[in-house]
Amino acid sequence: MSDDHKTKPPTKQTLELLAAASGAFVPDTADMARVTRGLVATHPTGVIEEDGRTVWDIGRHDFVRDSDAAPDSVNASLWNQARLNAVHGLFEVAPGLWQARGYDISNITFIDTADGWLIIDPLTTTPTAAACLQLANEALGERPVSAVIYTHSHVDHYGGVFGVTSREAVDAGNCRIIAPEGFLEEAVSENGTAGPIMMRRAIHQFGVLLPHGPTGKVNTGLGVDMPIGHRSLLAPTETVSETGAELEIGGVRVVFQNTPDAEAPAEMNFFFPDKRLLCMAENCSHNLHNLYPLRGAKVRDSLAWSKYLHEALVMWGDDTDTMFASHHWPRFGQGDVKDFLALQRDVYRWMHDQTLRLANQGYTPDDIAAQLEMPANYAHQSHVQGYYGTVSHNVRSVYDRYLGWYDGNPSKLNPHPPVEAGKRYVEMMGGADAVVSGAQRAFDDGDYRWVVQVLNHLVFADPKNRAARTLSADAMEQLGYQSESATWRNAYLSAAHELRHGSYYLGAVRPPGVAAAMTCMQLIDMLGVRFDPDQFRDTASIAWTITDRDETHLMGVSNKTIHQYEAPSAEQLAAADVAVEATHASMVQIGYNSPVLPDLLADGSIVVTAGDGGLFEEFVASLDVNTTATVIEP
């Protein structure tokens, strides 16, 4: 392997920056005691498999456990977070309540009830959830799973549900599924219309393709790692629509707080009044959270988020002995819980208010991101540090939520796209050699942000320019080493890897495990965002009958786009150009990169019952194929 392709060590400037950051970092010395408290058992091997493939291997993070001191390629603050996250096992949080932590990016919680286990958040994948349930049953005594609570609509809190229960158990009434109002719509939509691009970007955010180690992935900030296994979804049998709602679950009273548009579009906190236990879902965690994740998502409402935390503190703070959440470790003792909630409340309000204060003075998002730094009031508590979100990208998110992408500068209204802009920048700067030469001087000075900014133009203008790609990768790498945020580190190091080795290609996007829960309207929406109108006729109409759901839909094409009717009249259906009968599963296949259409026609999953079958084949052929990456050779 040439030096151009090799990982580089930290530079003098990076070592100096990390040394300064290490000196300024003040860890919470009580955190390790909180993390390890109540250990009952650990997974016998730490390796979880699915169909012979490793989904989870806690041993990949042994290098983090081996040293208290951070290596010279990792921010000391992030290293401390990684060590805390790397603690794994089944822990007793309070009498009758246990959590398995460290076997997924999220936590799974087990509560003993008169009817069996109440499970909160069954993790990301079927195999990790099943392994944790087995660990709990073996250590604590086997119980049936009688209820599952999804705290919110992100996949790492419901995707492993088939590891703890089954559709048959739910349909038979043997297992309740409880979720906040709007859960199903939000859970499905996040994996639907924007799913393919989110998947590509999540690979960078979580460093999926990075090697584990001091110069690679050390953590995700929010948890140890992201498991790669089968994901699924069972629709809720009960939804919570308002704050103050109370349910009895196996003799256990639970009081809910609905918190839409905080950490997730559909989310809820809840309190166990007879146990003095408070679950804060993912609205509180031991890091500064994202108002906007790098994978992409709807921008979160930091003001509402702060107010929900205040409401929870007022409603339950004086009655809570222990607080636990969907990530990280619990807080023990009323005073500790109240202090934790208050600081979490204040940090989201501070970001909101100070961003808008400066925006109202005319500052742009870039100005505000450069100006705002976490005040000293927060420096003594690691649970508000930027291991996952950062002040820099969170304040941009506040600005975007209120004011959108336009910063008021007309030069931003209609800029050239990256390739065309890159060519013009490179020419104006004196050509490729001059750009590389200038960037090299900036690199030698340790100005890595400027290196990647200026070389971005050359990489887009000429993706084959090896000198530009190599130097940009070297600078990205140093920025990754310097980052306190795990997501920034993963994004920088993943970009460096691509610049050196070429873009990854993982094939066509496959239907996610939640696709079975998608409505047919949502699946037709998926067709709309894949439809290339230049490959199809100007007008057409297709009548869909979904045979296993007793639904009929009418989809039309006009003005280069689709439209749809959920309950078309008999006259509208009769006038359609083609009528198609399809199973829901075949709709999923069409929506997510269908196999060859003749295969679906041959096995009877799709049947053309009337009209122009050629038109239907033409429409399917007009759908783009979604892949996980565009390949660019190094």
Report the chain (634 residues): mean pLDDT per 10 consecutive residues. Answer: 81 97 90 98 97 96 93 97 97 98 98 98 98 98 98 96 97 98 89 79 92 96 95 95 98 98 97 98 97 92 98 98 98 98 97 97 96 89 93 96 94 96 97 98 98 98 96 98 97 96 70 76 88 95 94 95 92 95 89 74 91 93 72 46
Angle at 552 between CA 549 and CA 554, to 5 degrees: 145
* Burial per residue of 364-403, b for 16 or more beta-carbon CB atoms within 10 angstroms, e otherwise: bbebbbeebebeeebeebbbbbbbbbbbbbbbbbbbbbee
Q: How many CB atoms lie within 10 A of CB 248?
A: 10
Check residue 521 and report its DSSP letter.
Answer: H
CA–CA separation, 233 and 236 (whole Å): 9
CA–CA separation, 604 and 513 (whole Å): 23
* Contact assessment for residue 325 and residue 285, using Cβ atoms and an 8 Å cutoff: yes
The enclosing H or E element of 111 equals strand 108-113
* Contact assessment for residue 399 and residue 368, using Cβ atoms and an 8 Å cutoff: yes
CATH 3.30.1050.10, the chain: domain bounds: 519-621
3-class DSSP state of 112: strand
* Contact assessment for residue 131 and residue 48, using Cβ atoms and an 8 Å cutoff: yes
* Contact assessment for residue 470 and residue 1, using Cβ atoms and an 8 Å cutoff: no
Q: Rounded to an integer, what is the distance from CA 450 to the centroid of its chain? A: 28
Q: Residue 407, class by beta-carbon neighbours within 10 Å (0-12 exposed, 13-18 middle, 19+ buried)?
A: middle
Structure tokens at 377: 């009031």
Pick from 431, 462, 412, 379: nearest CA to 77: 379
* Contact assessment for residue 620 and residue 589, using Cβ atoms and an 8 Å cutoff: no
First to last CA, the chain: 13
CATH 3.60.15.30, the chain: domain bounds: 67-398
CA–CA separation, 256 and 272 (whole Å): 9
Pick from 482, 432, 503: nearest CA to 461: 432
Check residue 280 and report its DSSP letter.
Answer: -
Amino acid identity, position 217: K
Structure tokens at 347: 């940090």
Task: Collect all residues with Cβ–Cβ distance below 8 Å to 234 and sequence separation of at least 6.
Answer: 148, 158, 161, 162, 165, 167, 170, 177, 517
CA–CA separation, 369 and 392 (whole Å): 5
- Give me the CATH topology for the region 519-621: Nonspecific Lipid-transfer Protein; Chain A (3.30.1050)
Q: Does domain 67-398 have CATH number 3.60.15.30?
A: yes
Structure tokens at 229: 């296994």
* Contact assessment for residue 287 and residue 146, using Cβ atoms and an 8 Å cutoff: no
Any idea which residue has 């990792």 for tokens?
A: 74
What is the pLDDT at residue 502?
87
Q: Residue 193, class by beta-carbon neighbours within 10 Å (0-12 exposed, 13-18 middle, 19+ buried)?
A: middle
Task: List, in sequence order, every residue forming a beta bridge with 582; answer none if it has no partner.
Answer: 546, 606
CA–CA separation, 555 and 478 (whole Å): 51
In 464-574, which ranges are continuous DSSP H helix? 466-482, 486-501, 520-530, 570-574
3-class DSSP state of 298: coil
Pairing status of strand 322-324 against strand 277-279? parallel
Pick from 123, 128, 122, 136: nearest CA to 169: 122
- CA distances, 161 to each of 146, 231, 285, 348, 633 (Å): 13, 8, 22, 31, 39
What is the pTM for the complete model shown?
A: 0.94
CA–CA separation, 542 and 576 (whole Å): 6
CA–CA separation, 604 and 624 (whole Å): 24
Pairing status of strand 540-546 against strand 578-582? parallel
The enclosing H or E element of 254 equals strand 252-258
